[in-house]
Amino acid sequence: MSGTVVAVSSNGEYSFTKPNRESITLLAGLGVEGDVHAGVTVRHRSRVAQDPTQPNLRQVHLIHEALFTEVARQGFEVGPGELGENITTRGIDLLGLPTGTLLHIGDEAVLEVTGLRNPCVQIDAFQDGLLRQVVGRDEAGNIVRKAGIMSVVKEGGTVRPGDGITVRLPEGPHRPLERV
């Protein structure tokens, strides 16, 4: 399974959206260089308030470009970086990956998938009603989160739009993604 990087984004300040960049540098064990969410321990405000010593399982946020097309059918205009993601992808079913999947990006970088992004009310502050489009329920009543996946940096490197992504599934029984 493989895909492509569509866009890369980062922001050194707390803000819902992240400006697109020509490239980002991933730092092993930390996240995106210069991004407010980079660090060994949690950086997301809600997580820091709960326990600032928690490990940062949300170093790099990825979203599949197909989500933008999906929400556009409901009248929402969303582009790369606008939902706070660092890497926008094409060609990979991110939400279907198991926990522990390795994503080899470009020539050097490797991310390990840790779980699903848990969307928050800030999405509705960005565009009213958008939260209902990225969090819903399936036929069985289970919560379905569509706002991307979270990962940690296993091997650093520079990532640019157009870089290839190769998926390496973990061995053994696969564990489905849960919110992190």
pLDDT digits 0-9 by tens, 129-153: 999 999 999 999 999 999 999 999 9
- The two beta strands, 109-116 and 149-155, are antiparallel
- The two beta strands, 60-64 and 87-90, are parallel
Do 41 and 52 meet the contact criterion of CB atoms below 8 Å apart?
A: yes
* Residue with tokens 């009603």, as numbered in its chain: 129
The whole-angstrom separation of Cα 76 and Cα 107 is 35
pLDDT band at 102 (very low <50, low <70, confident <90, very high): very high
The whole-angstrom separation of Cα 109 and Cα 107 is 7
Give the residue among 75, 97, 120, 88 at the shortest CA–CA distance from 10.
88
Decide if pLDDT at 48 tops 80: no
Amino acid letter for position 176 = P
Average confidence (pLDDT) over 34-39: 95
> pTM here?
0.96
pLDDT in tens, 54-95: 999 999 999 999 999 999 999 999 999 999 999 999 999 999
For the domain 2-168, what is the CATH code?
A: 2.40.33.20
